[in-house]
Amino acid sequence: MREPLWGVSVSTMDAKAHLVPDPIPTPPPSRRRNDAAEPRVLRPRRAAPSDCVRPTRAEVNLAALRHNLRVLERHAGTAQVWPVLKADGYGHGAPAVARTLERAGAKGFCVALVEEAIELRDAGIRAPILVMGGYYGDAHEEILERELIPVVYDPAHLEAFARAALALERPAHVHVKIDTGMARLGVRYDALAPFLDSLASHAAEIEVTGLMTHLSCAEMGQLGVSPEATTEQLARFEVACAEMARHGVRPAVRHAANSAAVLRGDGLFDVVRPGVSVFGFAPRLGGDGPSLSTELRPVMRVRTEVVDVRSLGVGEPVGYGATFRTSRASRIATVPMGYADGMSRAVSNRGAVLVRGRRAPIVGAVSMDMAMIDVTDIPGVTLRDEVVVLGAQSGPAGSDVITVDEVAEAVGTIGWEVMTDLSRRVPRFYREP
């Protein structure tokens, strides 16, 4: 039996909001010649709110998601916004996010993996889906059957999709990626000539509908001044595009801009590919400078509840390895969230959560399924009190917010990793405030 991705709120903070059903539609039938054949690539499965027993969950604010799309559309000007929904929509749940954004006007989507694209198609997404990762196994026919757009940069890609196109008796639509300085994926300029020769030999089977590159340093430099690396990359991209045009490759769509570039106004061609900014996290200038936008709204709030409170005397150990000992008579609470859920062990004895609107330090080593917090200075903490791990909370003891930037700094990483670390065993609840 197929379970719907929806649930009933147990938080008193949901009294002014409601949770939105997020059913998983029945996948469309295979368009192979043998209709009885099962698709080879299947979608992964996350924990469903209908299966939720413990109180740990992520709440996704769909109104904030639509607001961020509008902000990015304004920055993009005439370019179409194709949100990047790789890594399960940066941890927010790609199918529900894609459905919301498609209804709000997003013209296409980008993912890294074929599996991610299949998941979106099976969720009913009809907009173009660009698969950027460049590794396709032997799923070339299925990619074309599902009307996905692969990114190609190697003659072997062209050969494989040409065979698939012949088998399906229709051309393969692809985007070509140019490596302009990322040194990760894409055709290098010195390899462009043989690539174009291979493309010409498959002209009947392959149609290039887009050209793209990826910017490596869009958040660097100064406000109001494009980074030198970005200027150089865009210049190289123009040279490569001109060379391809001389060989008859003139697709209508070009794209380069990621979140930082969109917010700075760099590389706004026909399509832009914002990722993390869709979810309310603006890259910072130089990585740790001022935010490139103050308009975006966080989309996710991660919460759990107190499941145990106990009193400890002076000098008592807490958690594995006794990495924390009480320095006073203390009240220690336990919450059912650990590193298997996305709460990094690196926040042990240095991070904080919110209880009753006030910060409570994380004490002891974060374990796989649980963490302990010191609530000695927060009056009245009891079982089932809400605990916010990421996001805002107001309560009888005050109001505060735990931001993605704060968690990233405590862990010694970047906001992208904080978002995508949230485990699939944490259900996503979708809210319309």
pLDDT in tens, 236-291: 999 999 999 999 999 999 999 999 999 999 999 999 999 999 999 999 998 788 99
Residue 45 is predicted with a pLDDT of: 66
The H or E element containing residue 136 is none
Q: What is the pLDDT of residue 67?
A: 98
- Report residues of the chain scoring pLDDT below 70: 1-46
The three-class DSSP label of residue 290 is coil
pLDDT at 6: 31
pLDDT in tens, 162-172: 999 999 999 99
Catalytic residue, candidates 86, 136, 177, 430? 86
Helices (H), ranges, 146-275: 155-168, 192-201, 228-246, 259-264
**pTM across the whole model:** 0.89
Q: Work out the end-to-end distance of the chain between its first and last CA atoms, rounded to an integer number of angstroms.
A: 30
Q: What is the pLDDT of residue 39?
A: 53
Judge contact between 40 and 140, C-beta under 8 A. Answer: no
Tokens of 320: 């594995």
Residue 208 near residue 251 (C-beta atoms within 8 A)? yes
CA proximity to 194, closest of 153, 234, 233, 165 = 153
Q: What is the pLDDT of residue 19?
A: 59
What pLDDT sits at residue 38? Answer: 55
**Distant-in-sequence contacts of 99-102, Cβ < 8 A, 24+ apart:** 99/22, 99/123, 99/124, 99/125, 100/62, 100/65, 100/66, 100/430, 101/65, 101/66, 101/69, 101/278, 102/126, 102/127
320 noted as active-site residue: yes
Residue 273 Rama label (left phi>0; alpha psi -120 to 50; beta):
beta
Rounded-to-integer distance, Cα 343 and Cα 341, Å:
6
What does the pLDDT read at residue 2? 34
Say which residue the tokens 């903070």 belong to.
13
What one-character DSSP code corresponds to residue 40?
A: S
- CB half-sphere exposure, 26, CA atoms < 13 A: 3
Catalytic-role residue among 177, 320, 339, 430:
320
Nearest in space to 120 (alpha carbons), one of 91, 141, 146: 146
Q: Which of 217, 203, 208 is nearest to 152 (CA)?
A: 208
- Domains of the chain plus CATH, in order, are 63-281 (3.20.20.10), 300-402 (2.40.37.10)
